[in-house]
Amino acid sequence: MARTLPKTLTVVWRALRHGVILAASARVRLTAEDRQRLETIEREITAAATRPAADEAAIVYAYISENVLGRRRLAEKALQVVAAESILDRFRPRRVVVDGVRNAPPRAHVELAVPRGIAVDYYWHSPQVPLIEKVDAIGADPRMTPMVGRNLSWGPINDHWLDASGSDQPRVRVGSALSDRYRMKRVARPDRIKNVLMLQYTPNVTDLRGINCNMYGSFVDGIRMLKEIGVTDVCFKLHPGPERWEKEQFEEIAADFGLACRILKREPFHECMAWADIVIGPVQSGAMFEALAAGKPYYALLLAPHSMDTRFYGDYPLYPSLAKVIDALREKRADDGGKLLDDLYSRSEFPSGAGRFWEVLDADFQ
């Protein structure tokens, strides 16, 4: 699917040269029958959500009423389903590979593929793995028939996550396509740290115990503590995503508390890393693996309260407070993360993660 792929001449030429069809989502409309069915769905869900319920169910009903119901919301989801249906019927694939089974676009393809007899593979989206979740589509919920026929595993950490979540679907280890860019030259840690890149601490969106106040406390305390040990330049990097925290908000906080630091948001992460001697940031961020792969020492924060399962990180050091990070810096402790990267991406097992992925898929068509 080419919905978000930039259509540069280079990308289009490479796709054509390798026999890849860039399939855009079809422009579709809802029929009168579709809209009538939506009205029925909304009416039935509204009736169910307004019944008297125990506390847990009442919370679920309230969430559905606030975030799911509504003619416009339902119509948007319905359009995604119709578009997915159009793609499957037009191209008639023998296998569908998705990197998500919860958000609407890939879920629509999965649910439509199964009754059409199309095989479905699940491939990890990102290493946001510390939570054990019972995902129905991959066979982890005994109340539901799994829709994914095969899990394409990145490596030992992915396997552990699948085992812990209860998924018993067949799996094949393919490594990660990302591993091809994670074979960089190691960079020696400088004896004296001058430049520190500190990443915004935010709880994982599915970590119900995580609290946002840690984000503000770690910002203020972190800048102060780094200055106290002689760090001369600190850059604080916000998550670059839209509709999130704005740079101006943290600039106001820095001014109120007299914090001397630069605050960044949309600057390219690789440029920020190139500048930094070390990186301090949350363990629940893909930036951690980007930094380790670039050879930068990454001091991973995991602040209480949280519901993360730290076993997924093996013996890689996780710091429960900024004070512990400062102790590690004073003692010049740093882990290069080599074993963690191998366990996550299978770098040593497969010379090319992308090559291994296509090798497995090609075998299905022999």
The domain spans of the chain are 1-87, 93-185+340-366, 195-335
Mean pLDDT of 315-323: 95
Among 129, 74, 125, 128, CA closest to 104: 74
3-state secondary structure of 236: strand
- Given a cut of 80, is residue 272 above it in pLDDT? yes
Cβ–Cβ under 8 Å, residues 145 and 316 = no
Burial class (CB in 10 A: 0-12, 13-18, 19+), 2: middle
**Strand runs labelled E in the chain:** 95-98, 119-123, 150-153, 171-173, 195-199, 233-237, 262-264, 278-282, 298-301, 318-319
Question: Per-residue pLDDT averaged across 252-264, rounded?
Answer: 96
pLDDT (0 to 100) of residue 218 = 96
Cα separation, 193 vs 156, in Å, equals: 34
Residues comprising the chain, all counted: 366
Query: Which residue's entry shows tokens 């997924």?
Result: 312
Q: In degrees to the nearest 10, what's the CA dihedral of 332, 338, 341, 346?
A: -170
Residue 145's contacts (CB-CB under 8 Å, 6 or more residues apart) are none
pLDDT of residue 2: 53
51-75 average pLDDT score: 83
DSSP secondary structure, 35-102, as one string: HHHHHHHHHHHHHHHTS---HHHHHHHHHHHHHT-SHHHHHHHHHHHHHHHHHHHHH--SEEEES-SS
> What's the pLDDT band for 130 if we cut at 50, 70, 90?
low
Query: Does the pLDDT of residue 128 top 90, yes or no?
Result: no
Helices first, then strands: H and E counts in the chain: 13, 10
Task: Give the per-residue pLDDT at 184.
Answer: 57
Triad 214, 219, 220: Cα angle to 5°: 105
- Residue 71 has a pLDDT of 86
Q: What percent of the chain has pLDDT over 70?
A: 94
**Among the listed ranges 126-130, 161-165, 245-249, 280-284, which one has the minimum average pLDDT value?**
126-130
Per-residue pLDDT tens digits for 154-186: 999 899 888 888 888 999 999 988 777 666 556
Q: Which residue has the tokens 């020492």?
A: 297
> What is the reported pLDDT for 90?
92
Q: Specify the range with the lowest mean pLDDT, choosing from 13-17, 115-119, 126-130, 197-201.
A: 126-130
Average pLDDT for 331-340:
88
Q: How many CA atoms lie within 13 A of 354 on its CB side?
A: 6
Fold adopted by 195-335:
Rossmann fold (3.40.50)
Distance CA 83, CA 98 (A): 16
What per-residue string of b and e applies to 130-165 under the rule 16 or more CB within 10 Å gives b?
A: bbbeebbbbbbbeeeebbbbbbbbbbbbbbbbbebb
How far, in Å, CA of 128 to CA of 133, rounded?
Answer: 11
Q: Quick one: which H or E segment has residue 270?
A: helix 269-275
Question: In the prediction, which pLDDT does 357 show?
Answer: 93
**Taking Cα atoms as reference points, which of 290, 186, 191 lies closest to residue 237?**
290
The answer to whether the CB of 345 falls within 8 A of the CB of 154 is yes
Average pLDDT (296-310) is: 92
The mean of the pLDDT values for the chain is: 88
pTM, full prediction: 0.81
Query: Which amino acid, residue 173?
Result: R
pLDDT tops 80 at residue 131:
no
